[in-house]
Amino acid sequence: MNLGDFSFGNLGHAYLPDKWIFRNYGGEVSRGQILSLLGPNGSGKTTLLKILLGALKPTEGTVKVNGQVAFVPQLFQVAFDYTALDMVLMGRAKNIGLFSQPTKEDEEASLRALEQVGLAEMAHRPFHEMSGGQRQLIIFARALVAEADILILDEPTSALDLKNQNAILEWIDRLARQKNLTVIFSTHHPHHAYAVADRALLMLGESNYAAGAVNDVLTESNLSKLYELPFRRVCYEYKSQSVETLIPVLRPTKTALASAESY
Partner 1 sequence: MTELSKKFAQRINNFTSQIRLRLSQSQWTNPGPLAVILFLCVLASLFYGSYPVTASRTLGILINLLLPSGWLDSSALDLKEIAVITIIRPPRILVAVFSGVALGMSGTALQGMMRNPLVGPDLVGVSSGAAFGSVLGFWLGLFEKPVIILAMASIGGCCALLLTMALAKMVGGKSDGLPLILAGFFVGAFFLACVGLLLYVNNPFYPRGQRTYNIIYWLLGMFRGADSAKALVVTLTTLIGGVVLMGLRWRINLLSLGDLDAKSLGIDVSWLRWLLIITVSFMVAGQVSVSGVVAWVGLIIPHCARMLVGPDHRRLMPTSALLGGLFVLGLDNFTRTVIKGEIPVGVLSGFIGTPLICFLFWKTKTKGWNES
Residues in touch with partner 1 (CB under 8 A): 50, 53-55, 68-71, 73, 76-83, 86, 90-91, 93-94, 96, 98-102, 128, 146, 152
Q: For the chain, give the number of residues.
A: 263
Give the residue with the Cβ less far from partner 1, 31 or 92.
92
Report in angstroms how near the CB of residue 49 gets to partner 1 at its nearest. Answer: 9
Report in angstroms how near the CB of residue 152 gets to partner 1 at its nearest. Answer: 8
Contact 70, 53 (CB under 8 A): no
CA separation for the pair 31, 33 (Å, rounded) = 6
130 in helix, strand or coil?
A: coil
Report in angstroms how near the CB of residue 50 gets to partner 1 at its nearest. Answer: 7
Report in angstroms how near the CB of residue 81 gets to partner 1 at its nearest. Answer: 5
How many other C-beta atoms can be found within 10 angstroms of the C-beta atom of residue 238?
7
Give the residue with the Cβ less far from partner 1, 46 or 224.
46
Give the residue with the Cβ less far from partner 1, 151 or 217.
151
- Name the strands in the sheet holding 150-153, side by side, starting at the edge strand that comes first in the sequence: 69-72, 150-153, 182-187, 34-38, 199-205, 208-213
Which residues lie across from 246 on neighbouring strands?
233
Contact 154, 123 (CB under 8 A): no
Give the residue with the Cβ less far from partner 1, 67 or 190.
67
